Structure 1
Amino acid sequence: MVPEPESSAESAASPPPRDRSSGAFSRHVSRVTDRLGDLLPYAVVPFVLSLLEVDKIERTLDPHRTSFSVQFSLPSPLLELWSLVDPPDPASTGSSTTTGWDTGAPFEGSGGAAPVGGPTTTGPEITIETPVESIVLPVDAVGSAEIAWLGIALLAYGAIGAAVAAAYLGGIDRRLRDEPAVLLACVVDYAPRLFAYYLVVFAAFLALLPIALIAPALVILAIPLVLVLGYLFYAAPFLLVVADAGVLEAFRRSYAFAMAGGAYFRFAVGHVVAAAIVSLVLSILLNGGVVGFALALLIASPVGLVLTAATVSLCQELVDADDKPHRAPSVDRDRFDSST
């Protein structure tokens, strides 16, 4: 019995081979750009999410404010313009420069972007980034009512973000596999688990909130921990879709991939470097008024799509390699004709 060669469509849909002559990041970006025609409609997601941040757009277009920032972003399910660049600080006038890390968490304090120059706020604030807008609360004004409102808002934004991410990641995953993408089915299949994932992150945020209220300076000490956790679990939301895993299983497998290093680590490094370069370009453009903002938006949307799709491709490769030793021989035999 001689197996027939795989079809070209199947070869295109399968993750790229483990060619050690090129880096993990460049391999998966190359795979995505080769399929960009199929994936480009999904760029509407980061495009629209960027436009929903009205406050950031207003600050960016304020002629009395200029800002230069560099964001070192780990993979994120919903990577858009404001994941790659920071707008001017809301309490600043004139020029400011910021650098920061984006760990990819859906809800995180923006304190990671530390001002390097220019005026700063008069009091500490808690900023939570959601897929729809940024929530800013002055620390000295946070009480039980504000915390209750914050919880309701995060639950609502989490539900919206879960539905959007389910359709977005599910559609990308299907297109990379050359399968039809039924977005409603993706939402039904993956949104509940993504919402549960967001609740886990929300719970982690709540655990840090008392520290931020009692001793805001101590939050700075948690930044290295947040970065480590961001690296260890950046694949978790993607694995909910790619591996059809439960929440705990997604965290477990992401941790295992991270500890193994290899392609997972090299991809993270490549992603951070690429995001920083793009961030610098976008930051320069955003100081160019309406035209600069439009150009930045048109660049950031497909770039966000490519980076997110490349992470999906990475997870497909990791899951396929991880599952292959446990796959029954009959599964592989089914790929070939049994004719003699």
Structure 2
Amino acid sequence: MPSILVRLRGAWDRLSAHNLRYYALVPLVVAALNGTKIQNLLRSDHDFHAGISFGAPLPVTDAWSFVSTPAVGGGVQFSGPRTRLGIGLFAFGLVLQGVLLAGYLGGLHRGLRGDQPRFGAAVGAYWQRFLGFAVLLLGLFLPPVLFTLAARSLAPLVVLWLVAFFVLGYLLYAAPYLIVLHDAGLGEALSWSVSLATDGGAYLRYAVGYALAVVAISIPATLVVANVPILGIPLGIVGLAPVGLVFDTATLVFVADLTDAEGLGTRLPRGRRPNRAALSTPPDERGST
């Protein structure tokens, strides 16, 4: 399987060949709507901040995936919705996230296959499954956060939350891509992703390479965005949007290779498959088994 750097270069070439670089607008919008990150930077009283960011592949890799933001204030603070309006806006945000994810990954998938991207059609086809994915992630991550907030001794639970975050991110990172590549249901995509993750191999190597690439970019990105926020925030949001698009496209093609998706994966000589590591036979072969 190609290395992460080869995949990133190949992703940019594919985006350019199919005139899909404008899809960087989605990571840009997602980053611009992250008021918590922006407020943390503007309210920070740190004279200087350096840090790194790393994690598993995300369905939308925005600027904040590459920037380590300083903590504001002491202890752990809860910034969730507290009023009816806040709860309503939070619910709207979840729906919007489902819409953006569906149009983004679904449109990229269609465009990279040579079809019309049709963002709206992709939204109609996938948004409910992506909304379910967003709600599921919220449900999985919320209990460790609540335990952390309620505990008197925070350090052990903070560590537990971080471990849970990265383990779940690793186990489930292929799920949203499987939805668009194989038109899989949410439950099938989740179980398929977990199966790929537990098999390790190429799935694990890609996750490690992705994380290291994010670390490398995050060092200069954090220095610029966090220490000159007035200029760094808009520069980071705009400048890192196409970088995030390249990472997401590379992951889409990688998962296509890993699961033998038709019409998108790396081209190999006839009869060869880039990798057979699926929970079950690919959807195009199920009728013959």
For residue 125 of structure 1, what is the amino acid of its counterpart? Q
CA distance, structure 1, for counterparts of residue 66 and residue 185 of structure 2: 29
Equivalent residues in 2 for 1:178-189, closer than 5 Å = 178-189=114-125
8 Å CA contact 1:80, 1:304 repeated in 2: yes
CA distance, structure 2, for counterparts of residue 245 and residue 235 of structure 1: 12
Equivalent residues in 2 for 1:314-329, closer than 5 Å = 314-320=254-260, 321=276, 322=278, 323=281, 327=285
- The answer to whether residue 29 in structure 2 is matched with residue 48 in structure 1 is yes
Q: Higher mean Cα deviation, 170-179 or 282-291?
A: 282-291
Higher helix share: 2
8 Å CA contact 1:85, 1:282 repeated in 2: yes
Q: Call closer, same or farther: CA 1:285–1:214 in 2, change over 3 Å.
A: closer
CA distance, structure 2, for counterparts of residue 265 and residue 232 of structure 1: 10
- Residue of structure 2 equivalent to 1:124: 76
- Residue of structure 2 equivalent to 1:36: 15
8 Å CA contact 1:63, 1:289 repeated in 2: no
Q: Call closer, same or farther: CA 1:209–1:237 in 2, change over 3 Å.
A: same
CA distance, structure 2, for counterparts of residue 301 and residue 86 of structure 1: 16
Q: How far apart are 1:210 and its partner, in Å?
A: 4.5
Q: Call closer, same or farther: CA 1:194–1:307 in 2, change over 3 Å.
A: same
- Aligned match for 1:202, one of 118, 135, 138: 138
8 Å CA contact 1:73, 1:84 repeated in 2: no
Larger Rg: 1
Matched residue of 1:179: which SS?
A: coil
CA distance, structure 2, for counterparts of residue 124 and residue 300 of structure 1: 28
Matched residue of 2:58: which SS?
A: coil
Matched residue of 2:248: which SS?
A: helix
- Residue of structure 2 equivalent to 1:111: none
Percent pairwise identity: 31
CA displacement, residues 280-328 of structure 1 (integer Å, 9 cap, x when unaligned): 1111112235444444334311111001111111111122144469728
Matched residue of 1:69: which SS?
A: coil
Q: Call closer, same or farther: CA 1:200–1:224 in 2, change over 3 Å.
A: same
8 Å CA contact 2:44, 2:71 repeated in 1: no
Q: Call closer, same or farther: CA 1:262–1:304 in 2, change over 3 Å.
A: same
User: Structure 1 stretches of 5 or more lacking a match?
Assistant: 1-19, 92-120, 127-135, 138-144, 331-340
- Residue of structure 2 equivalent to 1:239: 178
8 Å CA contact 1:176, 1:313 repeated in 2: no
- Residue of structure 1 equivalent to 2:68: 86
CA displacement, residues 38-76 of structure 1 (integer Å, 9 cap, x when unaligned): 221001111122222345335535695442221012111
- Residue of structure 2 equivalent to 1:313: 253
- Residue of structure 2 equivalent to 1:141: none
Matched residue of 1:35: which SS?
A: helix
Matched residue of 2:240: which SS?
A: helix
CA distance, structure 2, for counterparts of residue 180 and residue 36 of structure 1: 13
CA distance, structure 2, for counterparts of residue 41 and residue 208 of structure 1: 37
CA displacement, residues 3-40 of structure 1 (integer Å, 9 cap, x when unaligned): xxxxxxxxxxxxxxxxx4x42x2343232111232221
RMSD of equivalent CA atoms: 2.8
User: Structure 2 stretches of 5 or more lacking a match?
Assistant: 261-275
CA distance, structure 2, for counterparts of residue 251 and residue 63 of structure 1: 38
8 Å CA contact 2:43, 2:72 repeated in 1: no
- The answer to whether residue 101 in structure 2 is matched with residue 165 in structure 1 is yes
Matched residue of 2:52: which SS?
A: strand
CA displacement, residues 264-295 of structure 1 (integer Å, 9 cap, x when unaligned): 11110111001011111111112235444444
Equivalent residues in 2 for 1:1-340, closer than 5 Å = 20=1, 22-23=2-3, 25-37=4-16, 38-54=19-35, 56-57=37-38, 59-60=40-41, 65=46, 66-91=48-73, 121=74, 123-126=75-78, 136-137=79-80, 146=82, 152-215=88-151, 217=154, 218-286=157-225, 287-320=227-260, 321=276, 322=278, 323=281, 327=285
Higher strand share: 1
For these two proteins, the number of residue pairs brought into alignment is: 263
CA distance, structure 1, for counterparts of residue 142 and residue 35 of structure 2: 26
